[in-house]
C-alpha cells in the first residue's frame, strides 16, 4: 500500500469511526475540516448553520455575515439557489464547485435524507485546487453525517421546509417588506393567515435549551398544538400556532399547562392574529406577557398577554419617574390605602375584589369568604370615606384602571 492510499484509508476510517461511536453533526464537520485543512460548514434545511469549523479562514463577506448570525438570510439563500451550478445539482450528493463573488470557491455536497434535500456540507477554498481526494472525502463525510442525522433523535427535525429561516427573519424585522417575501411564505409551511398566535417559552434552568432536550420540548408541544412551528431564538423557544379553533385551544392550553409544569417552563401567549407578516408584533406580545407576568405573579407559569396588556401600555408610556402615574389614580383609593394602614382594615382589598367581579355582590362574597352583611357594611364604609358612587359606570372604570396602575407601580 503506497503512502497516498494509506492516508486515504486512515482518513476514511476516522470518518467511519464517528458513525460507529454515535458522534454529532458538529464533530463530523470538525473532523472533515481537520482532515482537509479547510473551513467546513453544515447548513440544515432551515438554513441554520449547525456545524462549522475553521471559520476564521473564510474571507467571503456574505458568508461571514451568515456565520456571525448563525443562519442565512433569505436574500442570501435566493442568491445561492439561483446560481447555475446549484440549479443543476439539487438532488445529488455528489460534490460540485460553486464560485463566489470574492473569487474564492466552495465545494458543496447536498445532504439527501429519504429522497429529500435536507441541507448541505460546504467546504471553502481560497487558492488551492479541488482534487479527487477532496471530492471523495467530502462525499464520505456527507454519508456519515446523513446516517448520524437518521440515527440520533436530536436531529430528526432536519427536514424539507424554510419555516425556521422565515420566522427567524421576521423576529429580527427583516424581509417583511421585501417584494419576494410572499413567494417565500408560499413555498413554506407557513402559508396560512387565520387564527394565529405566538408562544414564547423560557426555562428556569441556567443551561437553557441544551441540544439534548430541544426535540423533547418540540415533540410535546406538537402534541398540544399539532399545527405549530417551533424555533429556538437565544434563550427562548418561539412557537407559531396556526389554524387554532377556540374550543380546541382551551383544551390545548390545559394540556400546555401540564407540559409547562413537567419541563419547568414559563410561557407567554400572544393575542390571536391574522397574517404571518405580523408575526414580530405578536412575538413581542408573548415576550411582554412573560416579562411582566413573571414580575407581578411570581408563582404563575402561564401568562396570557390579554391579562397584562394594560400593564404593557403603562410600561410603554411611563417616563423614568414612574411615580407620576400615581397622579392618574382615583384619589379615593389613596384614601382607602391610608385608612387601612391606620386601622388594619381591608377596605382597599374589598373594593378591588368588588370591581374585579363586576360589582356582583354574590361573587365578591364568595371570593372574600365573607357574609353579605359584612360586605354591605364594608361598602357603606367605603362610600363614606371616598364619597364615590359605586354604581356609576365611569367610577367603576376609573377604579378598575387605578387598581391596575397601583399594582403596576408596586413592582417597579
| Span of 98-107, 123-132, 236-245, 267-276 with lowest mean pLDDT | 98-107
Q: H-helix or E-strand containing 308?
A: helix 305-317
Q: What is the pTM of this model?
A: 0.54
**Per-residue pLDDT at 270:** 92
**Per-residue pLDDT at 109:** 85
**Per-residue pLDDT at 303:** 92
**Higher local confidence (pLDDT), 342 or 158:** 342
Number of alpha carbons in the 13 Å side-chain half-sphere of residue 182 = 3
Count other C-beta atoms under 10 Å from residue 278's C-beta: 16
Give CA–CA dist 224/259, Å, rounded: 9
**Per-residue pLDDT at 241:** 85
Displacement of CA 173 from its chain's centroid (Å):
14
| Mean predicted lDDT score pLDDT of the chain | 78
Mean of pLDDT values over 320-331: 71
Long-range Cβ contact pairs of 346-352 (< 8 A, separation 24 or more): 346/378, 347/378, 347/381, 347/382, 347/385, 350/375, 350/378, 350/379, 350/382, 351/379, 351/382, 351/390, 351/399, 352/403
pLDDT at 308 exceeding the cut of 50: yes
Give CA–CA dist 172/151, Å, rounded: 33
Give CA–CA dist 326/403, Å, rounded: 10
Close Cβ partners of 109 (under 8 Å, ≥ 6 residues apart): 93, 94, 95, 120, 121, 123, 138, 139, 141, 142
3-state secondary structure of 18: helix
**Higher local confidence (pLDDT), 177 or 287:** 287
SS3 content of the chain, % helix, strand, coil (to 5): 55, 15, 30
**Per-residue pLDDT at 156:** 47
Count other C-beta atoms under 10 Å from residue 198's C-beta: 28
Cell (9 digits) for 66: 451568515
- The pair phi, psi for residue 99, each rounded to 5°, is -80, 145
3-state secondary structure of 204: coil
Dump pLDDT digits (tens) for 127-178: 777 788 888 888 888 888 888 877 765 564 454 446 776 787 788 776 666 6
Residue owning grid cell 407557513: 190
Q: What percent of the chain has pLDDT over 70?
A: 76
Contact at 8 Å (CB) between 276 and 170?
yes
| Span of 80-89, 103-112, 357-366, 397-406 with lowest mean pLDDT | 80-89
Dump pLDDT digits (tens) for 373-410: 999 999 999 999 888 888 888 888 888 888 888 888 87
**Higher local confidence (pLDDT), 132 or 255:** 132
Give CA–CA dist 88/84, Å, rounded: 6
Mean of pLDDT values over 349-366: 90
pLDDT at 287 exceeding the cut of 90: yes
Displacement of CA 289 from its chain's centroid (Å):
14
| Span of 206-215, 239-248, 253-262, 403-412 with lowest mean pLDDT | 206-215
**Per-residue pLDDT at 136:** 85
Highest mean pLDDT among 208-217, 245-254, 313-322: 313-322
In terms of DSSP bridges, do strands 40-44 and 49-53 run parallel, antiparallel, or are they unpaired?
Answer: antiparallel
**Per-residue pLDDT at 289:** 94
The 3-class secondary structure across 227-283, one letter per residue, is CEEEEEECCEEEEEECCCCHHHHHHHHHHHHHHHHHHCEEEEECCCECCHHHHHHHH
Dump pLDDT digits (tens) for 35-66: 888 898 988 776 778 788 888 888 888 888 88
Q: What percent of the chain has pLDDT over 90?
A: 8
Cell (9 digits) for 312: 404593557
Give CA–CA dist 400/47, Å, rounded: 48
Residue owning grid cell 454519508: 143
**Per-residue pLDDT at 200:** 92
Mean of pLDDT values over 209-229: 69
Amino acid at each position: 500500500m503506497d503512502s497516498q492510499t494509506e492516508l486515504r484509508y486512515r482518513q476514511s476510517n476516522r470518518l467511519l469511526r464517528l458513525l460507529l461511536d454515535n458522534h454529532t453533526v458538529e464533530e463530523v464537520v470538525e473532523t472533515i475540516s481537520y482532515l482537509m485543512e479547510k473551513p467546513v460548514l453544515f447548513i440544515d434545511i432551515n438554513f441554520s448553520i449547525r456545524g462549522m469549523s475553521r471559520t476564521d479562514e473564510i474571507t467571503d463577506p456574505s458568508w461571514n455575515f451568515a456565520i456571525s448570525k448563525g443562519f442565512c438570510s433569505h436574500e442570501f439563500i435566493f442568491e445561492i439557489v439561483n446560481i447555475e451550478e446549484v440549479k443543476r445539482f439539487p438532488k445529488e450528493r455528489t460534490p460540485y464547485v460553486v464560485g463566489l463573488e470574492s473569487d474564492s470557491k466552495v465545494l458543496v455536497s447536498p445532504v439527501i435524507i429519504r429522497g429529500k434535500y435536507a441541507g448541505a456540507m460546504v467546504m471553502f477554498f481560497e487558492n488551492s485546487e479541488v482534487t479527487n481526494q477532496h471530492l471523495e472525502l467530502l462525499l464520505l463525510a456527507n454519508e456519515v453525517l446523513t446516517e448520524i442525522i437518521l440515527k440520533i433523535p436530536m436531529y430528526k427535525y432536519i427536514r424539507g421546509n424554510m419555516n425556521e429561516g422565515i420566522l427567524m427573519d421576521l423576529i429580527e424585522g427583516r424581509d417583511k417588506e421585501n417584494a419576494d417575501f410572499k413567494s417565500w411564505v408560499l413555498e413554506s409551511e407557513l402559508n396560512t393567515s387565520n387564527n394565529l398566535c405566538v408562544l414564547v417559552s423560557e426555562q428556569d434552568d441556567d443551561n437553557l435549551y441544551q441540544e439534548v432536550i430541544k426535540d423533547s420540548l418540540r415533540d410535546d408541544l406538537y402534541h398540544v398544538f399539532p399545527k405549530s412551528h417551533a424555533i429556538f431564538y437565544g434563550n427562548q423557544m418561539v412557537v407559531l400556532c396556526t389554524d387554532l379553533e377556540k374550543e380546541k385551544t382551551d383544551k390545548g392550553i390545559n394540556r400546555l399547562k401540564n407540559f409547562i409544569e413537567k419541563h419547568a417552563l414559563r410561557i407567554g401567549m400572544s393575542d390571536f392574529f391574522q397574517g404571518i407578516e405580523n408575526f414580530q408584533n405578536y412575538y413581542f406580545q408573548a415576550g411582554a406577557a412573560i416579562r411582566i407576568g413573571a414580575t407581578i405573579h411570581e408563582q404563575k407559569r402561564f401568562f396570557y398577554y390579554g391579562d397584562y396588556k394594560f400593564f404593557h401600555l403603562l410600561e410603554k408610556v411611563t417616563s423614568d419617574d414612574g411615580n407620576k402615574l400615581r397622579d392618574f389614580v382615583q384619589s379615593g383609593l389613596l384614601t382607602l390605602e391610608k385608612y387601612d394602614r391606620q386601622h388594619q382594615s381591608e377596605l382597599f382589598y374589598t373594593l378591588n375584589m368588588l370591581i374585579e367581579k363586576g360589582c356582583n355582590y354574590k361573587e365578591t362574597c364568595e371570593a372574600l369568604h365573607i357574609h353579605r352583611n359584612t360586605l354591605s357594611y364594608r361598602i357603606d364604609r367605603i362610600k363614606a370615606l371616598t364619597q364615590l358612587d359605586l354604581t356609576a359606570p365611569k367610577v367603576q372604570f376609573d377604579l378598575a384602571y387605578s387598581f391596575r396602575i397601583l399594582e403596576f407601580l408596586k413592582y417597579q
